[in-house]
Structure 1
Amino acid sequence: MSQSYLGVKDGCLAPCPKSPNCVSTQTDQKDKRMEPLPFIINTKKTKDVVKSITQEMKRVEMQDEAENYLHLTFTSKVLRFKDDVEFYLDEESKFLHFRSASRMGYSDLGVNRKRMEEFSKRYAQKYESEASS
């Protein structure tokens, strides 16, 4: 199922499709919802941390970068499927929002959720280390 857009429109990332191959911090669909993450100090520091964490992950490529937005693609190892991962740094709320979705297919066997849970765990560790310093 294709998504309607990439990027941020009116402060929101694209909605998740009905298929189970997407997670987002901005969806009302309970099975796809994840919690946004608090900023680390400011927009620049938060963005630097996001870039640092994602660069450590496998088969990732930066597609687009703006002041408050990042778009990356992750490619599966065997079948070479691409997933779009977007980060929106919401200056107003001071939250990092994200969306991770498969470009094609119906089920992703939980890959997008696992990826973003791992990202969130690493982000929380960086957040804690910054808060304690």
Structure 2
Amino acid sequence: MLLCLIPSAVPSRAATGEELIVRERHTLLCPDSANCVSTMAARESHAIAPYRYQISLEEARAVLKRVFGQIPRTELIREESDYLHFEVRSFLFGFVDDIELRVDEAAKIIHFRSAARSGYYDFGVNRKRMEKVRQMLEGKL
């Protein structure tokens, strides 16, 4: 009987990082919850401007990796030629946020989605982080 209660005592996660990876390469959408920002969001509360770049795709990817590498508790999970997926863990409780970036070489735009993996509201953490990254990228792209 005690074993039946153990799984309910372990916190569950909404999805794994692998489940969050963009399967449709053109879509970086947010759920209805108030814990996400995306350059492709239709809702104003989720919408954020993409990053623009003037260097090559390879250079842009390298700059993104360097900048995100400066953010504490951030780990590169997956890398493809035009795609990066990072996990960022919160300091206190280790909550995971997923950041996905897709580099559109033709348009010279970096689309992204930053979302809390669990919970409903993030107190603006994802938006603040991605705007901070925008400042960190200034003059590098």
Same fold (TM over 0.5): yes
Relative to the length of structure 1, the TM-score reads: 0.87
Partner of 1:53: 67
Corresponding letter in the other structure for 1:75 = R
- Hey, which bits of structure 1, 4+ residues long, moved more than 3 A? 1-5
CA pair 23-5 structure 1, distance change in 2 beyond 3 A: same
- Give the whole-Å Cα distance in 1 for the aligned partners of 2:77 and 2:34: 24
Partner of 1:20: 34
Q: Deviations over 1:14-69 (max 9, x none)?
A: x1011110001111111111111112311011111101100111100110000000
SS in 1 for 2:30: coil
- Give the whole-Å Cα distance in 2 for the aligned partners of 1:35 and 1:94: 13
Partner of 1:131: none
CA pair 57-124 structure 1, distance change in 2 beyond 3 A: same
Q: Deviations over 1:85-130 (max 9, x none)?
A: 0110012322001110000001111111111010011112323xxx
Larger Rg: 2
Partner of 1:6: 21
Identical positions, percent: 36
- Give the whole-Å Cα distance in 1 for the aligned partners of 2:110 and 2:96: 22
Kindly report the root-mean-square deviation, in angstroms, between the aligned alpha carbons of the 2 structures.
Answer: 1.7
> Any unmatched runs of 5+ in structure 1?
128-133
Relative to the length of structure 2, the TM-score reads: 0.83
> Any unmatched runs of 5+ in structure 2?
1-12
- Give the whole-Å Cα distance in 1 for the aligned partners of 2:84 and 2:37: 16
- Give the whole-Å Cα distance in 1 for the aligned partners of 2:23 and 2:137: 22
SS in 2 for 1:31: coil
How many residues are aligned here? 126
